[in-house]
Amino acid sequence: MRQIVLGMMIVATILAAGIPLMAHHSFAAEFDSAKQMKLTGVVTKIDWTNPHVWFYLDVKDEAGKVTNWGFEMGPPHMLQATGWTRTTMKLGDIVTVQGSMAKNGSNRVNARNVTTPDGKKMGAASSEGQPGQQ
């Protein structure tokens, strides 16, 4: 009986550990690599959390209308490995982002790179093009 209970606990643990992995999306499920865009705007929010860092920009179009856009980057540990810190981008900074638009037409982009106010172009640890992500 003890072995059955132990076996069931092990199986339950393995299944529970896999749930976050199943919830994670692939790049191709949400973004369209054929719809590339480049936007410049003012940073309004930064969410430096797992599984992806998100930041938001107010972008002004040619007519002067301001729209808030959300940008997905890779996970914090991958960004940190390429030189990012929590303070690389600050609220109020003007940055330029290149990336792929959301398939559903919403104001969301998978960022490929970000040009910071000092002109430094930094990779965004995008899942676009990485093996197993499309």
pLDDT at residue 67 in the model: 97
Residue where the block lists tokens 């002109």: 119
* Ranges assigned E (strand) in the chain: 31-47, 54-60, 66-72, 94-102, 108-115, 121-123
Q: What is the per-residue pLDDT across 77-109, written as a single tens digit (0 to 9) for each?
A: 999 999 999 999 999 999 999 999 999 999 999
| CATH 2.40.50.140 holds for 27-123 | yes
Q: What is the per-residue pLDDT across 120-130, written as a single tens digit (0 to 9) for each?
A: 999 998 877 54
User: Domain extents for the chain?
Assistant: 27-123
The overall pTM is greater than 0.85: no
Q: What is the per-residue pLDDT across 6-63, written as a single tens digit (0 to 9) for each?
A: 556 665 555 444 444 444 557 777 889 899 999 999 999 999 999 999 999 999 999 9
